[in-house]
Each structure stands twice: as structure tokens, then as C-alpha cells.
Structure 1
Amino acid sequence: MIGLPWLEAAGRQLRDQYRQQRLPHGLLIVGGSGLGADRLIQWLEGVLLCQHPDRAPCGQCHSCNLRLAGNHGDLLHLQPEGKGQQIKVGAVRELVSFSQGKAQYGQNQVVLVQQAERLNLAAANALLKVLEEPPAGTYMLLQSADPARLLPTIRSRLQWFRCPAPPVAEGQSWLEGQGVEQAAAELALALADHQPCNALMLATEDFMSRRQRCLELLRGQIERPSPNLEVLTGLLEQEPAQVLSIWRPWLADAARLAQAGTSVPLRNTDQADALQSLVGRYPTAALWLRLYDAVEQLRIQVEADNNLNWQLLLEQFWLSIPREIRRTA
């Protein structure tokens, strides 16, 4: 099966729909890799292309071997051209041409559009025409962790299938089964917003060390505001998205503490004492919300533009922290 216990029932449901000829030819799979959406999709592709439908995906037939080797003529993947990039209309024209052909191996044709929310307007409109009259024998799979960004007309043409999230206890049990210690599993799962596959990537000594350094620097700038930019050298060597993904939930925790007090649950459970100390010193929730909003705006810019000047943006944010503190005082 899929290899992720919280997705096994979902996989069986999709396979049963296919065997009963009830699987829609246009399917929007909602979820990201953190929940294992990529694993579910790979498995479903196997179901749709396997030459032994009664035990698909068998993993042994010629079609399965081609798929597993990444060389299946009846399978087409579309995705953004690069980090922060869009899916352009030329790629969708390739999809249209592909879908008008016939299956080479006697089963179906499968098209997967990954990160479908990144379709630009021209590409989305071109895809819409295909979805309005899906070719027989072709299954159109769209994956998105942010379906609200899709055109409403595309959303309405597809049947939605949401990747289920596991209960916390199941996610933690799975992480421990991957060799993660209990305390580390609890923390990683909280940091990953209870998405186990992402949590597994966070539960490494290397990431936790980098996280600790990022938080120490931010906490230091808030405790002892300084115009010194030399301390940012280490941050400039890290992936911008990762730095922001560390700061964002930490600042959100601080804002929640300022608004609701110590009874509020935190994602950064290991930072409770440090957060409570800082919020005790700066109890105004507006400060923490403004800092959170600034980091969120940075995240949006980083996601949208692969060529931005990360050093300049980081320095501007760093120097804004003392101003925001003075504004609150």
C-alpha cells in the first residue's frame, strides 16, 4: 500500500471508486507533501496505469516498471518551472496534446499538475477547456495545498479529495517508528503543524541546531535591540524560507501568549520559558503581531520571487525591530 497509515483508508477508497468506475476524471487532491499527498498520488497513478487492475498497483507488470523508472509514456507531470515560479501556458498546451492521444499500454492516460495553484491565468484558462470536456481514458489529477488560489471555475470542475491528517497520537507513533525519540517527535510534530512527513524532516539534529541559532539571534535582537548587522552573517547562509519558517510560529506563539496568557498551547513547546519571559517584558500583543506580520510579508515575497535580495530584506526587518519596540514603549 502507500506506506503511511493515515492514508491507507483514503487509498482504498480511491481504488474502490476506480474499480467501480466511479472515480472522476478530474480530481483535485488537497494537501501537501507534509501529509503525504505526493505518496498518495504516486500510488493512485499506479492504480490507474497498472496492467493488473484486480491487484493494482502490482509493482511487477511492464507498466508498473516503466512508471517506477520514471519513463511511462502514458503519464505526464506538470509542475512550476522552478522555485517561486509559475506553470505557464506552454506546459498546458503540452498537456492538451498529450490528452488527445491514445494510451500506449492499453490502460489509461494520467496527467498530474503539481502545485496547481501556481498556474498562471493563461495556463489556468487553457486547462479549463480540457476540464470542461475531459478526454475519455484520461485522468486529470491536480494537487494543491492552497486550493483557494485556483480559479473558481477550475475548482468547480473538479471533485475534491482532501488528504486526511492523522490524530496526534498516530502521527507521533509513526515518527517514533521512524526512529525519532518521543520528546523530539512531540516537538517536531508541533512545529510541523501536525504534518508527520514534514515533522520527520524537522526531527534532525542538524535542523534543531540551526533552529536554535535562528531563535537565539531573534530573541537577542528583541531583548537587546542593536543596529549591528554582522550577526546576520550566519542567517544569510541559510535558506530564507527555512529561517522564516522558524521565526513565524515562534512570533505567533508570543502573540498568543500576549493575548491569552500562559494557558494557551504553544507550538514551540521547548521555548515556553523564554517566550513567557519576553512577553512579560513586552506584554503588548500589537508588538508581536506587527513582527509576525513583517515575517509573513517576507515569506510571501520569498515564495513569489526567487531572485529577491534576501540580504537587503533581512537587514530591513532586523533594523525594524528596535523601531517597533520603541513604538510600543
Structure 2
Amino acid sequence: MLEVVCPWHAPIWSSLTSQTQHAHAYLFSGLPGVGKRRFANAFAAFLLCDTPEHAMACGHCRACLLREAGSHPDLLLLEPEEEGKAIRVDAVRQLVDFIGQTAQQGGRKVIVLHPAEAMNQNAANALLKSLEEPTRDTFLLLVSDQPSRLLATIRSRCRVQTLAAPSQADALDWLATAVPELQAEQHQALLIMSGGAPLRALELHQLDAIAMRQQVVADIKALIKQERSPSQVSDAWSKYPLELLLDWFCSWTLDLLKLHTGAQPVASNQDMDKVLGYVVRFPTAGQLMDWQGWLLAHRAMVQGKANLNRGLFVEALLIEWKKLLEKR
């Protein structure tokens, strides 16, 4: 499969591929779902291609055919053995050995490492040595959602390229083409839930996130009206992704803070505008900040794959949410 960059990254792609010399290490960073992986894979294909055409891998030379078959000997894809797990030092030692080998096709060697922030401390230190002693015609492409989690010494030895999200209009146009069966308001809802990242919006569509979100909002309303208990709602959400639930609560809390300070007159989360307009009357700004801190701390734990009891955690989340409604 020929890798194609997302259209909103075309100017950066044009600038990068027009250069006659390339850095030995790149760090492609940006929000999840903006197309960093596509960009890195397309760049790897471009670097390995024998006869690039129009600043893209040709797709039909021997190097391209080997890569598309997943058998190019001079391309190494390095990622966790399981999603959400760490990249360990043994994997990076494999990378170091790969760097030390002669290119089997007689050209360049390319390593794509994703997500770079998944490296544990030992793995990061092992990688640093390779960055300090670059090998000719060997290119390391790091992809990261959270570059701040990387060692500063690793970041400083890479050419950092931020890949931003597109404008809302461009993102909606892309989604309309990618999922034409949805209505315009559904595209808008997915884009809001994804934080403006179109590929993440597409993933959410595949998770049926719109229906999930509708049920979550209905359950929140029932919880506030005391028609359902935190335990009952927790059971109903047993299969909903924790990161997604926490993202939604964080977004609602940001709306509450903006409403409380008068920074915005209505909630940006339109499906929760009435609920948030009601909730904001009760907590102080300090209580909202404390609640936001609780959410962010626990979101970091979930992202770090902490061993949480899911049912108890979601129930605690809902109990803390209800506390915002207590009269002080």
C-alpha cells in the first residue's frame, strides 16, 4: 500500500522532500489522530524508494514492492509488543544492531519508532547512544503524541517537526469524504470529540462513539436527577473506553470553568449545554480547579496503563462529579 500524507500536511511534506540533505533523526510530534504516523511511513517510503516520482515513493520499484510486502530488509518498524505497553531496552538493542549493519539493498536504512514516548528509561538511554553516533544513510523517524515525555537529550538530537491539526473547515471536508454516510452535524460532533484531529474522529466513528456519547449524556442527566446511582451508571459504562470517558469529563470541566469565569456565555459541548448551565451554579472556582486536577491526574494514570479497578474507578468518578452539585 502506497503511503499518502494527509492533505493538511502537504506544505510541510513539500518542504521536507525538496531538501537535498536530510537530518539523521526526525521527531514528528502532534496531537493523536492528526496523521503523524501516515507522514512518517510516507517519508520512510520516500527515503527508501529507488525512483521517487513527484516527491513521493513511486510504488513500483523493487524497494517499494519489498516495503509494501512488509519484507524490506532495510526498514525497521519499532513499536510496543502490545498496545499501551512500554518499548523495552531489548527492542532498542535490536535497533542498535540494525543501525550497525550494512544496508542489504545497498542504499538507505530507515527506522520508524512509534510511539516514542513509550520507551522506558533504559530503552531511551540505549537510543541516545545511537543518536550521538549517527550512521551515514541511516534515518531514524520518531513519532510522538507526547514529546515532552522524551528525554530532553533525545529531543535535542532530532529535527523536531510539529504536525498540526487542520482547520475546522478542512477537517470537516475530509470527514465528509471519509465517512459520507454521516450527516454534517455528526461530522461536527466527531470532530469536537476528537479535539479537532480528523483521524481520531474517524477512529471514534468506528467505535460508534456518537451513540456512546448520547447514552453517556443521558446517564449523566439521570444521575443528576437521582434516577440512577453511580453504581448503576458505572455498570452501564462497563465497556466504554476509560480514556474517552475522561476526555469527555475534562472537556465538560473546561466548559464549566469558562462559564464560571464568564469567558464564554454557553458551553461548547452543545449536547451538555443545559446540564453544564445547571451544574455551574453550585461549585466555586477553586472546587472546579480541584476537580480538574483530579481528572487530569487520573487520566494520566489511565494513559500510563495503571492497574485500576475499572468499576470502582468509574463509580468514584461519578461520585466526585456529583459532589460538584452539593450546596456549599
TM-score w.r.t. the length of structure 2 is 0.89
- Code of the aligned partner of 1:309: N
**What are the residue-to-residue correspondences of 1:172-211 with 2, within 5 Å?**
172-178=172-178, 179=180, 180-203=182-205, 206-211=208-213
Per the TM alignment, residue 10 of structure 1 is displaced from its structure 2 partner at its CA by 1.6
**What are the residue-to-residue correspondences of 1:7-26 with 2, within 5 Å?**
7-17=9-19, 20-21=20-21, 23-26=22-25
Asked whether 1:275 is paired with 2:276, we answer yes
Q: Contact 1:223–1:278 at 8 Å: present in 2 too?
A: no
Question: Cα–Cα, structure 1 residues 163 and 183, in superposed 2: closer, same or farther, change >3 Å?
Answer: same
**Within 2, Cα distance between the matches of 1:144 and 1:32?**
9
Q: Contact 1:214–1:246 at 8 Å: present in 2 too?
A: no
Question: Residue 87 of structure 1 aligns to a residue in which SS?
Answer: coil
Per the TM alignment, residue 14 of structure 1 is displaced from its structure 2 partner at its CA by 1.7
Per the TM alignment, residue 192 of structure 1 is displaced from its structure 2 partner at its CA by 1.6
Question: Cα–Cα, structure 1 residues 228 and 134, in superposed 2: closer, same or farther, change >3 Å?
Answer: closer
Per the TM alignment, residue 51 of structure 1 is displaced from its structure 2 partner at its CA by 1.4
Report the counterpart of residue 97 of structure 1 in structure 2: 97
Report the counterpart of residue 291 of structure 2 in structure 1: 291
Per the TM alignment, residue 265 of structure 1 is displaced from its structure 2 partner at its CA by 6.2
Report the counterpart of residue 140 of structure 2 in structure 1: 140
Question: Cα–Cα, structure 1 residues 217 and 265, in superposed 2: closer, same or farther, change >3 Å?
Answer: closer
Q: Contact 1:89–1:123 at 8 Å: present in 2 too?
A: yes
Q: Contact 1:26–1:141 at 8 Å: present in 2 too?
A: yes
Which of 207, 215, 218 is the aligned partner of 2:217? Answer: 215
Question: Residue 102 of structure 1 aligns to a residue in which SS?
Answer: coil
Report the counterpart of residue 112 of structure 2 in structure 1: 112
Report the counterpart of residue 67 of structure 1 in structure 2: 67
Question: Cα–Cα, structure 1 residues 2 and 83, in superposed 2: closer, same or farther, change >3 Å?
Answer: closer
Report the counterpart of residue 156 of structure 1 in structure 2: 156
Q: Contact 1:176–1:182 at 8 Å: present in 2 too?
A: yes
Question: Residue 165 of structure 2 aligns to a residue in which SS?
Answer: coil
Question: Cα–Cα, structure 1 residues 142 and 248, in superposed 2: closer, same or farther, change >3 Å?
Answer: same
Higher helix share: 1
- Code of the aligned partner of 1:253: D
Question: Cα–Cα, structure 1 residues 317 and 277, in superposed 2: closer, same or farther, change >3 Å?
Answer: closer
Report the counterpart of residue 28 of structure 1 in structure 2: 27
**Within 2, Cα distance between the matches of 1:33 and 1:70?**
25
Question: Cα–Cα, structure 1 residues 258 and 214, in superposed 2: closer, same or farther, change >3 Å?
Answer: same
Which ranges of structure 2 fall in alignment gaps of 5 or more residues?
none
Per the TM alignment, residue 16 of structure 1 is displaced from its structure 2 partner at its CA by 1.1
Per the TM alignment, residue 325 of structure 1 is displaced from its structure 2 partner at its CA by 3.8
Per the TM alignment, residue 243 of structure 1 is displaced from its structure 2 partner at its CA by 2.1
Per the TM alignment, residue 194 of structure 1 is displaced from its structure 2 partner at its CA by 1.4
Per the TM alignment, residue 199 of structure 1 is displaced from its structure 2 partner at its CA by 2.0
Per the TM alignment, residue 163 of structure 1 is displaced from its structure 2 partner at its CA by 0.8
Q: Contact 1:2–1:39 at 8 Å: present in 2 too?
A: yes
Residues 209-242 of structure 1: per-residue CA shift (max 9 Å, x gap): 1111122323433453975512321211222222
- Identity fraction in percent: 32
- Code of the aligned partner of 1:279: V
**Within 2, Cα distance between the matches of 1:286 and 1:216?**
27
Question: Residue 258 of structure 1 aligns to a residue in which SS?
Answer: helix
Report the counterpart of residue 48 of structure 1 in structure 2: 47
**Within 1, Cα distance between the matches of 2:142 and 2:118?**
11
- Code of the aligned partner of 1:59: G
Which ranges of structure 1 fall in alignment gaps of 5 or more residues?
none
Report the counterpart of residue 259 of structure 2 in structure 1: 257
Q: Contact 1:49–1:108 at 8 Å: present in 2 too?
A: yes
Q: How many residues align?
A: 323
Question: Residue 197 of structure 1 aligns to a residue in which SS?
Answer: helix
Per the TM alignment, residue 151 of structure 1 is displaced from its structure 2 partner at its CA by 0.7
Asked whether 1:237 is paired with 2:239, we answer yes
